[in-house]
Structure 1
Amino acid sequence: MKRLMVIMLVAAAMACSKDEVTAPKASLGSTIETAYSKAVVLQEGVEVKVTKIEDSRCPKSVVCVWEGMVKVFFSVSEGNTTKEAVVEILGDKSRAPKATVELNGTTYVIEVSDVAPYPQTPDPISLENYKISFTIKKA
């Protein structure tokens, strides 16, 4: 019985480590979808994490005077250097939703393509339910 338990524990540990090793990494210029507070490590060694979301977009079923906006706060790291960036997405789309950040002499551009879900009612959305789609590339 003990032998069976040991074999099961070893198999479970191998399955977990195998998934971690074979998990594909994103690369510069590719579209990345991530959740709030989840770090994404790019093949080039840059780590990107969504640290905060401020969503004041007008819900679909509500008539608003202003379309609102959503702000996505990023933490971008490379080596021992970490910088913050904020991307504002205006409801009227009058400005491109992107920000720049410089790390170790390289300038990166973060461009957000989607923040989901879109508000349906005036009730706030839990941060854990957000999905952010973005690209990051060298300027």
Structure 2
Amino acid sequence: MHPRLICLGMAGLVLAIAAACGSSRNAIDDTQASHRPPPRTSASYVLAQGETVTLAPAVTLKLERVNDSRCKQGAVCVWAGYISYNFVLTGQQGSTSFLLADDMPGASKSVTRNGLTFTLEGVQPAEPPALKATAPDYRVSLRVSISQPS
């Protein structure tokens, strides 16, 4: 066999092996990447009145106050009332407060502050307390999501 053909044959073999190794590594990298969990873009939290949760380093959310003006069970009312929730978000930009409510005029079930969207998911107890009962220990659940840039 001619030496030039042997060299070309060897060069072709080396290139084929290198391509196969590169393809194999890319396939492994792609497989590993597809097995990594996607980054979290939202989470749900349950807060009691006065409770604070840490959302990120140096970022906290506090359920400052629950305002329940709904008609108490056993009472006769001229309007149904509403329940609202005052939150305080504290971060590197300082503190900002916001209100969330389902059916309150001028309020919303969802609000965006400092790149985060806060959405009410529910409250426990869902029904208003009885007429003479003390205020319940409310538990408010909300979803916090990273806002998508426009």
Q: Bin the TM-score by the shorter chain.
A: 0.5 to 0.7
Question: What does residue 130 of structure 2 align with?
Answer: 121
Aligned ranges for residues 53-64 of structure 1 at < 5 Å? 53-62=66-75, 64=77
From 24, 27, 47, the equivalent of 2:60 is 47
Pair 45,29 (structure 1): closer, same or farther in 2 beyond 3 Å: farther
TM-score, length-normalised on structure 1?
0.62
Question: What does residue 25 of structure 2 align with?
Answer: none
| CA distance in structure 2 between the partners assigned to 1:130 and 1:101 by the alignment | 24
Identity %: 20
State whether structure 2 residue 83 is matched by structure 1 residue 100: no
Structure with the largest fraction of strand: 1
The one-letter code matched in structure 1 to 2:84 is K
| CA distance in structure 2 between the partners assigned to 1:39 and 1:96 by the alignment | 21
The one-letter code matched in structure 2 to 1:119 is P
The one-letter code matched in structure 2 to 1:115 is V
Larger Rg: 2
5+ residue gaps in structure 2?
Answer: 1-39
The one-letter code matched in structure 2 to 1:125 is A
| CA distance in structure 1 between the partners assigned to 2:142 and 2:78 by the alignment | 28
**1:40: Cα distance to partner?**
0.2
| Matched pairs, number | 105
Pair 37,28 (structure 1): closer, same or farther in 2 beyond 3 Å: farther
| CA distance in structure 2 between the partners assigned to 1:125 and 1:110 by the alignment | 25
Pairwise CA RMSD? 2.6
State whether structure 2 residue 47 is matched by structure 1 residue 34: yes
5+ residue gaps in structure 1?
Answer: 1-26
TM-score, length-normalised on structure 2?
0.58
| CA distance in structure 1 between the partners assigned to 2:146 and 2:79 by the alignment | 34
| CA distance in structure 1 between the partners assigned to 2:41 and 2:78 by the alignment | 38
Question: What does residue 27 of structure 2 align with?
Answer: none
Are 1:84 and 1:101, in contact at CA under 8 Å, matched by a contact in 2?
Answer: no
